[in-house]
Amino acid sequence: MAKSCLRKEDENTPVVAEGYLTGKDKEDDEGAFALLQELETDETRLSEQKERLSVLFEQLQLKVTEEIENKKRRVQILNSEVTDLKIKCEKFARLVNNAVLPK
């Protein structure tokens, strides 16, 4: 396997140096390759987990929004019912007061 090194003129462009790797270099390369594979596995796992969590978050956000709308509707209905009952109570209170009081 050939070594990769950077030229002084362009440190961003790797070039292949002539020669073969020593035993130590091979061990380093095997460790680097294993680390690269592990990192790729972790990246894939984390990307999948991120996608699942994003989908779950969107579902939960939708559920919360729906629940908020349901609660708003229930509160609106209860407000309407309370208003109607207040009007009925006031009406009956006037009837009772008029009936009890002598004219």
Report whether 17 contacts 3 (CB < 8 A).
Answer: yes
* Interval 7-60: pLDDT, tens: 454 555 555 445 555 566 667 888 899 999 999 999 999 999 999 999 999 999
Distance CA 38, CA 32 (A): 10
Query: Of residues 100 and 91, which shows the higher confidence score?
Result: 91
Q: Please give the model's pTM, rounded to 2 decimal places.
A: 0.54
Q: How many domains does the chain have?
A: 1
Domain that holds residue 35: 3-100
Distance CA 64, CA 69 (A): 9
User: Counting every residue, how long is the chain?
Assistant: 103
